Structure 1
Amino acid sequence: MSAPTCLAETLKLEIIRARQRIYRVAAPTPLEAYDLPEGVQLFLKREDLSPIHSYKWRGAYNCLAQLSPGDAALGVITASAGNHAQGIALSARLLGISARIYMPQTTPWTKQDAVRRHGGEAVEVVLIGNSFGDAVAAAMEDRDASGRIFISAYDHPHVIGGQGTIADEIAISGQGPFDAAFLQIGGGGLAAGIGLWLKEHFPDIRLIGVEGEGQASFDLARRHHAPRTLERVDIFCDGTAVPRVGDFTFPILRDILDDYLQVSNDEVCTAIQELWNRARCLPEPSGAMGFAGLRRQLDRWRGKRVLVIICGSNIDFQKLALIAGRAPFGDPTRRAWRIRLGEQQGELDRLLGSCFGQLNVVDFQYGQIHPQVAHHIITFEATEAEAQIVGRELTAHGFPYEDVSGRTDVRFRVIRFDPRLLQYPIFARVELNEKPGTIREFVALMAPYARLCYFNYQFTGERVARALVGFDFADPAQREGFREQARALREPITGFEELGEDTARRLLDS
């Protein structure tokens, strides 16, 4: 029997033995079924509903519960970016074992706070360095000096066996068999434990490993035929931000995975948004990584039954704004085009009316930087076929354009404008009824009265669209006449508030 085969058999036995330990702590998590409009039957394993809102407690408890009395008396030490730390904290408190946990200083506050709450007096948290690797190095030094037992976040048979109980619950749920499972990979403990047990019970299942771009340590090991350490790790998906795949987990993953892919942070954000829309499930970025991988291959799995593990939901509330902002860039139906047109009054109305029809405009960025030529960045939702039609219409009407989706300045909404080109401007917060075609209606309504010199709008999911808009006029009389018109609100405008003098002055001083 080869070494990987021997290890695999050992891990299968460990999963069986882990059952009686794991269910002392918590009941099985739900396995929810959803029919996706693309024809895929999706099964979500909701580890976000576990005691620490992550699967990591399973491996941690299974490992600590097997310590000898002597080792337990010494106490344990570990390093974690958050979820494993919570698992160790909960397990240490339940088993009466002292734990010292090293975490990067960059660990989200939500996870730091949760570690202290789950562990209570049993846990000491030490924040050090800026990466998981820094925390591991410090923990290893402490282990050597203190004699505490080091508990790996993913690279120990007892940890892997504990994570494998997720697949055990799936197997006995009665909802199988399944055609595929998309498994996120950080250090590899989750994918190795679940993958082994799924293959045991459903031999024909296809296992697809999913890593995040910028943190693909398994792919690096695969190319070198052995684990290697990444020089730099992207930490957006912080739960899988591991610089080196495990020595135990790598040979297992190499043997059981049928396919592999990487997903971008934008794709992960889009996956989070879709999981919320479909299942009212709000995972952390690493928790949505498997679903992001499935979204990449929806056509391939049409008519099939596919598993995805929602492995955690420990996320800082403030990060939700970043995720919501990035989600559109991971959606292939959203496109940002930079369109050139003349600065004359009414030209923008002609553009929107002739080329975009009732397509949904979800982002609009414009600032005047030239007296005769304007460049508007319009983000809209369209299928590939619809986008081709828009492109043909733009060309036919003499509007040159380029695709700027994902460009850094577009992402950060850098809207330049030159105040020296303005004569008698007004800047205002405008509220509109949010519906398809609203931006075009607003532009058409304004065309006879004012020329737009600035437009900053982004879809927020509210019933009201909010925009910061600049209007410019040839003389003071026109400006005062517009102010009178603005007070008589008309559809689609529901609110108009001119900026105060101080705010307007700051804008114009730029």
Structure 2
Amino acid sequence: MDTVLANKKIYKPQLSAVKKAAERISNVAVKTPLGQSFTYSSKFSANVMLKREDLQQVRSYKIRGAFNKISSLPKEQINKGVICASAGNHAQGVAFACNKLQAKGVIYMPITTPRQKVEQTKMFGGDWVEVVLKGDTFDDSYKSAIKHGDKHGLVFIHPFDDEKVIEGQGTIGLEILEQAEEPIDYVFAPLGGGGLLAGLSSMFKELSPNTKIIGVEPEGAPSMTASLKEGKLTELKSIERFVDGAAVQKVGSRNFEICRENLHKVITIAEGKICQTILDLYNQDAIVVEPAGAMAISALDFFAEEIKGKNVVCIVSGSNNDITRTAEIKERALLYAGLKHYFVVSFPQRAGALKDFVEKVLGPNDDITHFEYSKKHHRENAPAVVGIELNDPADFDPLVARMKTKNFYGEYLNDKPNLFQYLV
């Protein structure tokens, strides 16, 4: 444990404080449904229930913590204004709260934030908020917001490392326990900065201590996993930003202490697996979710044997997904499933070479989805970048074997990230 943390009392959300938060937010936060998912209950032979936080007014649970924090401030501070940094969902919660409480708010968001989240933030905040796009990650925006807030005397509304925010998110735990008809064996919840799990797990530890709480992180931003491994709060040097609602370089200090005591397990999920869950939820259940909103459900496959016959809750945390990301989501899902592959193919510079490749190399169910070719003069062969979609992952090895036998094979690109990033 860090020396600083060892010398001070560790904060733990109290049931009375979370109940007070529930009263404070009762007029703005919806008591979202907890309902059985027929699809996932059948798939895993369990009673899988979805807590639909995507149905909040701001389409994520972040309204709970943001409103609880801002509404608890003294009137003079509300009049002076607040500031926050967010990758999107917290920003919308703060914007909504500012509009409702008539508090001036400055909201810093990463430049990389999907446009849909930026526009929604402006819409919810109206004339009461100013949106500033700064930095490539949440952590960049956070540093800029802190500097601006200190300069102008604005209270910083932290998206996850704040007691009132944690208590606001903890109201989800109370609701689940009120709504569930039977004892809950497992709760799966997304893990970014840790505010949701810090609040939720504290309520379960007090009211349902036998429930196992599972935190689910994106593989490209495993900040809690790194901290637990090191035994101290650890900042990642770089992260994959695709799961923007959960991509942070360092979890909250309060949340780290709470989560390492309360959570049964923390696991990481590949971004491609999350993308497949997004597509499945839409195609099978007509549920639209953002990447962070799909993380909890994505973890079920890795606990299939463990959860059989159990009562399981998955937190669907948000639905702020930009439709322009659909092509990338599909691509990542195919790559994860081993169905999409990119190659540098060496084509002989002669008539009929492409026809030979299609007829003699591709399998009957293989499809070319990407093709870039530039003819080179005075050379026998010229390279082409070719994307191939398979019908079955087992078709990959035979495809490569035929490419080599027919002298078309150049280089496989999927496992070369420096080249591959230009294609996906």
Please tell me the TM-score bracket, short chain as reference: 0.7 to 0.9
User: Letter of the aligned partner of 1:211 in structure 2?
Assistant: E
Distance in 2 of aligned mates of 1:403 and 1:304: 43
Distance in 2 of aligned mates of 1:123 and 1:32: 35
Distance in 2 of aligned mates of 1:264 and 1:155: 25
Distance in 2 of aligned mates of 1:411 and 1:313: 26
Whether the 8 Å contact between 1:38 and 1:299 is mirrored in structure 2 is no
Whether 1:187 and 2:193 are equivalent positions in the alignment is yes
Whether the 8 Å contact between 1:340 and 1:375 is mirrored in structure 2 is no
Q: Percent identity?
A: 33
- 3-state DSSP of counterpart to 1:172: helix
Change (3 A) 1:411 1:148: closer
Distance in 2 of aligned mates of 1:224 and 1:258: 17
Whether the 8 Å contact between 1:340 and 1:399 is mirrored in structure 2 is no
Matches within 5 A, 1:311-326: 311-326=317-332
1:325 is displaced (CA, Å) by 1.8
Per-residue deviation, residues 152-190 of structure 1 (Å, max 9, x unmatched): 111111101111111211111134423222222111001
Whether 1:82 and 2:92 are equivalent positions in the alignment is no
- 3-state DSSP of counterpart to 2:35: strand
For 2:3, the equivalent position in structure 1 comes to: none
Whether 1:310 and 2:310 are equivalent positions in the alignment is no
Q: Which shifted more, 126-135 or 18-27?
A: 126-135
1:299 is displaced (CA, Å) by 4.3
**TM-score when scaled to structure 1?**
0.69
Whether 1:380 and 2:393 are equivalent positions in the alignment is no
Change (3 A) 1:381 1:177: farther
Q: Which one of 206, 215, 221 corresponds to residue 209 of structure 1?
A: 215
For 2:150, the equivalent position in structure 1 comes to: 144
Change (3 A) 1:279 1:195: farther
For 2:32, the equivalent position in structure 1 comes to: 29
Per-residue deviation, residues 265-299 of structure 1 (Å, max 9, x unmatched): 21221121112122211211111122222234434
User: Letter of the aligned partner of 1:30 in structure 2?
Assistant: P
For 2:99, the equivalent position in structure 1 comes to: 93
Whether the 8 Å contact between 1:267 and 1:292 is mirrored in structure 2 is yes
Whether the 8 Å contact between 2:170 and 2:203 is mirrored in structure 1 is yes
Matches within 5 A, 1:102-181: 102-181=108-187
User: Letter of the aligned partner of 2:183 in structure 1?
Assistant: P
User: Letter of the aligned partner of 2:157 in structure 1?
Assistant: I
User: Letter of the aligned partner of 2:44 in structure 1?
Assistant: G
Per-residue deviation, residues 412-466 of structure 1 (Å, max 9, x unmatched): 669xxxxxxxxxxxxxxxxxxxxxxxxxxxxxxxxxxxxxxxxxxxxxxxxxxxx
Distance in 2 of aligned mates of 1:365 and 1:38: 34
**TM-score when scaled to structure 2?**
0.82
- 3-state DSSP of counterpart to 2:29: coil
1:382 is displaced (CA, Å) by 3.5
User: Letter of the aligned partner of 1:21 in structure 2?
Assistant: R
Q: Which shifted more, 136-145 or 400-409?
A: 400-409
Number of residues paired by the alignment? 402
User: Letter of the aligned partner of 2:286 in structure 1?
Assistant: R
Unaligned runs of 5+ in 1: 415-510
Matches within 5 A, 1:234-383: 234-331=240-337, 334=339, 336=341, 361=366, 378-382=388-392
Greater relative contact order (CA < 8 Å, ≥ 6 in sequence): 2
Change (3 A) 1:226 1:410: closer
User: Letter of the aligned partner of 1:20 in structure 2?
Assistant: E
Over the aligned positions, Cα root-mean-square deviation in angstroms equals: 3.6
User: Letter of the aligned partner of 1:19 in structure 2?
Assistant: A
User: Letter of the aligned partner of 1:127 in structure 2?
Assistant: L
User: Letter of the aligned partner of 1:7 in structure 2?
Assistant: Y
1:403 is displaced (CA, Å) by 8.5
Distance in 1 of aligned mates of 2:128 and 2:286: 34
Change (3 A) 1:404 1:381: farther
Distance in 2 of aligned mates of 1:231 and 1:375: 32
For 1:14, the equivalent position in structure 2 comes to: 17
Change (3 A) 1:3 1:314: farther
User: Letter of the aligned partner of 1:72 in structure 2?
Assistant: I
1:330 is displaced (CA, Å) by 2.2
- 3-state DSSP of counterpart to 1:315: coil
Change (3 A) 1:282 1:3: farther
Whether the 8 Å contact between 1:4 and 1:252 is mirrored in structure 2 is no
User: Letter of the aligned partner of 1:18 in structure 2?
Assistant: A
1:103 is displaced (CA, Å) by 1.9
User: Letter of the aligned partner of 2:255 in structure 1?
Assistant: T
